[in-house]
Amino acid sequence: MDAPAFDAKRFVRPALLTPQLWFVFMLLMGCSLANAGSLNVAPQSWWVANIGNTGPGPNGGTVEPGGNCESCLQASGGYHWTGVLTFIGNTPFGCQFTRGDGSIQDNGCTVSESIYCPANSTGTTTCTCNSGYQPDPTATSCVPVVTCPTHASGTPCTCDEGYEFDVAGTSCVASCPAHASRPSPGTPCACDAGYQFDAAGTSCIPVQYTLSLSGLGVKVMPKNDLKTAYAEVKKSDGSDGSGVQVNLQLSVVPEEDGYNHAVGQHTAPHDGSLAPLSGATDSNGKLPFVFSAPEAGGIHTITATCANCLNSPVTGTITVPGCEVDDLPPITDPEVQLFEDNPDRSDEARLTDRMKEALACLKRDAAAGSPNVGSAYRPPAYNQHLIDVWEKWIRELKDNEKPACAALKTKIQAHFKTHKLKESQQPVEGSLHTLGEAVDVTISLPPATIDAFWPGCHLYRPPSLRITDPVHFIYR
């Protein structure tokens, strides 16, 4: 008698074969899978024999019972399974085989069906992760539940936008704002070069600077250098702005110097030069530069610019006179101005007493020559002014033929004449006029007659001056 063919459907959940129950089963499966702890892996059935398991599943189980029935029988006596299972108290099942005498036996081999889920999960219709575990991102295995720190979520934990893990990787801290970074892990954020934190301390904004030019507004003589000028950068808090790039430009308005440039009468350049034309400020926030004046005159404008400077650009000027000769220094002493306004002023009151007596004697004895005192006491500052006028005219302008110097030449020549200075007689420092011990007296008498008067009046006319400065008398 042939053994009945094995029908696995009789043993694998017969109730599921009806369409209605199958639909209910699938609905429940869908609901279960929707559970946060459910896996996208259905439980698997594996058949395990009491001995000799050789299957690929858990504990050597096989998908169908026959595989391990055969293995068990071979292990127990070498007989082949007939494909029929014998109910033994419903489950497990005996593995039937036919002996040579036709008897049916199972040789003690049984198989049992077990439902398996992935590690750390259980279930009969849906695999659900055990307590303390959760599905991995693919929902095919269970991994330990990880509690994300504040400002983090996901599996694995990922910091929210705007946050990053700390050095230990256990907390999410605020990320550095744009234009900032951490000098080293775990240190506070620092704004990049050229940026600073805003008032709230949450964003890095461009550093705001102010720019200035120093050492300008001066006069530089032709073909000379100005080496004391510089551009300076300050931060908004008043501190030095070091490392800031500054650019310089130079332009000139030529001076009307009297030359006919159209016919090439004068070819001297009007353009000066700057060095450097750009650079970064030093640790003091300064960029020194040198201005080299040209040969011809003009007003030179220096323009400085820098990025993020609130007042950029800034300008300053340097004047290069077309005439290389300076004007006289301005008069600031009121006493000197008094003599300047009255060139014929004769201050006899501040002569020494003995000089007053000597002058009175000369006036009396030379009365026939109508003595006229042109200069008596001179303040030292006024005496220096006369020295300046004489030197300016004789040494710098008398023989200067440059058209650019013509106006100054006329001015100084008139000044020279106003003070009745003589080209042959240079005023000197330490003049006895400043001590009240000298006078200049014009006497309309022959020189020999004059020489007969002054010795008796305690006066003296140095021989070296009797021709070049015949009006000069000193006390003796």
What is the domain-level CATH number for residue 216?
2.60.40.10
Rounded to the nearest 10°, the torsion over CA 263, 266, 267, 268 is -160
pLDDT at 8: 44
- Which helix (H) or strand (E) covers residue 383, if one does? helix 380-391
Decide if 132 is inside a domain.
Answer: no
Decide if 145 is inside a domain.
Answer: no
Q: Are residues 404 and 358 in the same domain?
A: yes
Report the SS3 class of residue 403.
helix
Q: Are residues 64 and 196 in the same domain?
A: no
Which range of residues forms the domain containing residue 459?
334-475
Decide if 54 is inside a domain.
Answer: yes
Decide if 141 is inside a domain.
Answer: no
Decide if 143 is inside a domain.
Answer: no
Q: Are residues 274 and 392 in the same domain?
A: no
Structure tokens of 227? 């080496």
Q: Which of 206, 236, 270 finishes a domain? A: 206
pLDDT at 35: 57
Q: Which of 467, 473, 438, 435 is nearest to 453 (CA)?
A: 473
Would you list the DSSP string of 430-463? T-GGGGT-EEEEE--S-HHHHHHHGGGGTEE--G
pLDDT at 260: 54
Q: How many domains does the chain have?
A: 4
Q: Are residues 251 and 311 in the same domain?
A: yes
Q: Are residues 370 and 471 in the same domain?
A: yes
Rounded Cα gap, residues 1 and 384, in angstroms: 154
| Cα 149 → chain centroid | 38
pLDDT at 258: 55
Q: Which of 178, 206, 234 finishes a domain? A: 206
Give the residues of the chain that fall short of pLDDT 50: 1-34
Residue 22 DSSP one-character state? H
Q: What is the CATH number of the domain that holds 409?
A: 3.30.1380.10
Report the SS3 class of residue 295.
coil
Q: Are residues 73 and 202 in the same domain?
A: no
Decide if 238 is inside a domain.
Answer: yes
Q: Are residues 307 and 345 in the same domain?
A: no
Q: Are residues 220 and 271 in the same domain?
A: yes
Residue 347 DSSP one-character state? B
Q: Are residues 266 and 345 in the same domain?
A: no
Q: Are residues 84 and 65 in the same domain?
A: yes
Q: Are residues 348 and 450 in the same domain?
A: yes
Q: Which of 150, 174, 206 finishes a domain? A: 206
Q: Are residues 265 and 342 in the same domain?
A: no
pLDDT at 23: 45
Q: List Cβ neighbours of 12 (8 Å cut-off, separation of 6 or more).
A: 45, 113
Decide if 153 is inside a domain.
Answer: no
Predicted structure pTM score: 0.47
Residue 424: exposure state from Cβ atoms within 10 A (0-12, 13-18, ≥19): exposed
Beta strands at 152-153 and 209-214: parallel, antiparallel or unpaired: unpaired
Decide if 214 is inside a domain.
Answer: yes
